[in-house]
Amino acid sequence: MSENTAPQVQFGLFSVSDITQDPTTGHTPSEAERIQATVTMARHAEQAGLDVFAIGEHHNPPFWSSSPTTTLAYIAAQTERLLLSTATTLITTNDPVKIAEDYAMLQHLSGGRMDLMMGRGNTGPVYPWFGKDIRQGLPLAIENYALLHKLWTEDVVDWDGEFRTSLQGFTSTPRPLDGVAPFVWHGSIRTPEIAEQAAYYGDGFFANNIFWPAEHYQRLIALYRQRWEHYGHGASETAIVGLGGQAFMAKKSQDAVAQFRPYFDNAPVYGHGPTLEDFSQMTPLTVGSPQQVIDRYAGMRDMFGDYQRQLFLMDHAGLPLKTVLEQIDFLGGEVVPVLRKEFAKDRPANTPDGPTHAARVKAVYGDTEPRQARPRANRGDNLSGPNPYQDTAPKAGSAFGAAAVKTGA
């Protein structure tokens, strides 16, 4: 797959960057080991024929990925076609101006082979570490993304909101590659307002789909599709949906269960809770043969409709790198080729393919050669706060008002 010819459904990996003791050996990798292992895993994903690699953002142990853009830029330099993304960029505790700058830079360095997923995160203490109040998590997500969207779509921005200093005549640099902003997914485990936000902007919605029963995510995705159509982006089936997933495979299903059980039982996230069998029944976690994974995930279309991206969590719970690479080989060599064919059967003609920069550029410019934006000179030399040469600062608050988050609207 070249970046110009994206598959209908993009398959790949996402990592939460945990550093966890291997319960079978007692070995706990260092940060350096896990960081280098993740880079190896991403390179191997491309070699195995996968389309996407995504990494989360965390600022607390036992996770190491505090700077996704640094990691993804390094991986971009060592790969040729792999799409790079985040498995959450914290829209609540990061400054939208810094997000705009960092990810536009990554867009340039990767040649457009990137997008990102916005989320609020699941670690409460991170808010005060960055001077934020967790009780304002949802308003922060709404206002901060409104500013980020504005910074990427307007060359010169005036901004006055509740959660950061005002901006007057501000230009975020570098400007998006080819004048086209990175594609944005909005990720959520449980929050309908985030599905509403994704629909409002015509962005993608990513349902984590690894912890809760399918019925929960069906409701969120159905809301997103309904509101996508409501906001005039097209029929509900043209909305851009991504799903998470989990699998562990061996040639024989009983071997897969035996090998994975100690990792499941001791995992920081779900260890010492439901049994492996119960969790596998309640969620998409599939532990067994490649054919069992194919059968389980081929059925996702029936539950969620046609969608654009399927990511798998495969490197967590202390699994050693050798095992993770073997799992990637199962996924790329046996599972994904069959799923591509299954997902292509009877796929409606109006169902979008997985998003890429090349496709988004073509949608803007057609077949003409795109021109890289050259922003106008700033009106206020990137002043922060009121312009001392103006009597009053213009008001340009969030375009996504409180009414938009009323999910019953």
CA distance 103 to 107: 6
Are 150 and 159 within 8 A, CB to CB? yes
Closest C-alpha among 396, 394, 398, 395 to residue 146:
398
Most confident among 22-31, 204-213, 372-381 (mean pLDDT): 22-31
- Percent of the chain, pLDDT > 90? 71
Q: Is the pLDDT of residue 398 over 50?
A: no
Summarize the confidence of residues 112-132 as an average pLDDT: 82
Give the C-alpha separation, 288 to 282, whole Å. Answer: 16
Hey, is 70 helix, strand or coil?
helix
| DSSP H/E element including 12 | strand 10-15
- Give the C-alpha separation, 63 to 129, whole Å: 16
Domain boundaries, the chain: 10-405
Q: What is the pLDDT of residue 129?
A: 77
Task: Give residue 273's pLDDT.
Answer: 85
pLDDT of residue 393: 36
Distances in whole angstroms, Cα of residue 118 to Cα of each of 121, 157, 198: 9, 21, 10
Q: What secondary structure, in 3-state letters, does 107-139 show?
A: HHHCCCCEEEEEECCCCCCHHHHCCCCHHHHHH
φ, ψ of residue 195 to 5 degrees: the values are: -60, -40
- Residue 381 pLDDT grade (very low, low, confident, very high; cuts 50, 70, 90): low
Buried b (16+ CB within 10 A) or exposed e, 122-156: eeeebbeeeebebeebebbbbbbbbbbbbbbeebb
In this predicted model, what pLDDT tens digit does every residue of 161-180 receive, in sequence order? Answer: 999 999 999 999 999 999 99
Other residues' Cβ atoms within 10 Å of the Cβ of residue 203: 24
Alpha carbons 263 and 18: distance in angstroms, whole number: 13
Mean pLDDT value across the chain: 88
Cα 89 to Cα 78: distance, rounded to the nearest angstrom:
22
Outline where DSSP puts E strands in 178-264. 183-188, 204-207, 241-243, 247-249
**Backbone φ, ψ for residue 384 (5° rounding):** -105, 125
Q: Confidence band (pLDDT; 50, 70, 90) for 216?
A: confident
The separation between CA 21 and the C-alpha centre of its own chain, rounded to angstroms, equals: 26
Q: What's the pLDDT score for residue 409?
A: 34
pLDDT in tens, 74-99: 999 999 999 999 999 888 888 999 99
Q: How sure is the predictor about 408, in pLDDT bands with cuts at 50, 70 and 90?
A: very low
- Comparing 217 with 291, the larger pLDDT belongs to 291
Q: Is the pLDDT of residue 378 over 70?
A: no
Closest alpha carbon to 94 in 153, 125, 53, 140: 140
Does position 400 have pLDDT exceeding 50, yes or no? no
In one-letter notation, the amino acid at residue 338 is V
Predicted confidence band at 2 (pLDDT cuts at 50, 70, 90)? very low
Q: Which is more confident, 62 or 377?
A: 62
Q: What percent of the chain has pLDDT over 70?
A: 88
Q: How far apart are CA 194 and CA 118, in angstroms?
A: 9
Question: According to the model, what pLDDT value does residue 272 have?
Answer: 80
What is the pLDDT confidence band of residue 119, given thresholds at 50, 70 and 90?
confident
pLDDT in tens, 230-285: 999 999 999 999 999 999 999 999 999 999 999 999 988 777 889 999 999 999 99
Query: Which residues does 281 contact at the CB level (< 8 Å), separation at least 6?
Result: none
Place of tokens 């505090």: 66
161-166: Cβ within 8 A, 24+ apart:
161/397, 161/398, 163/132, 163/136, 163/139, 164/95, 164/96, 164/97, 165/384, 165/385, 166/384, 166/385, 166/386, 166/393
Among 310, 258, 262, which Cα is nearest to 287's? 258
What is the distance between the alpha carbons of residues 173 and 152, in angstroms, rounded to a whole number? 9
**Token pair for residue 178?**
């080819």
pLDDT given for residue 211 in this prediction: 79
CA 42 remoteness from chain centre: 15
Domain 10-405 adopts which CATH fold?
TIM Barrel (3.20.20)
pLDDT, tens digit (0-9, with 9 covering 90-100), for 275-316: 999 999 999 999 999 999 999 999 999 999 999 999 999 999
Residue 278 half-sphere exposure toward CB, CA atoms < 13 A = 7
Residue 186, phi then psi, degrees to nearest 5: -110, 115
Strand, helix or coil at 200?
helix
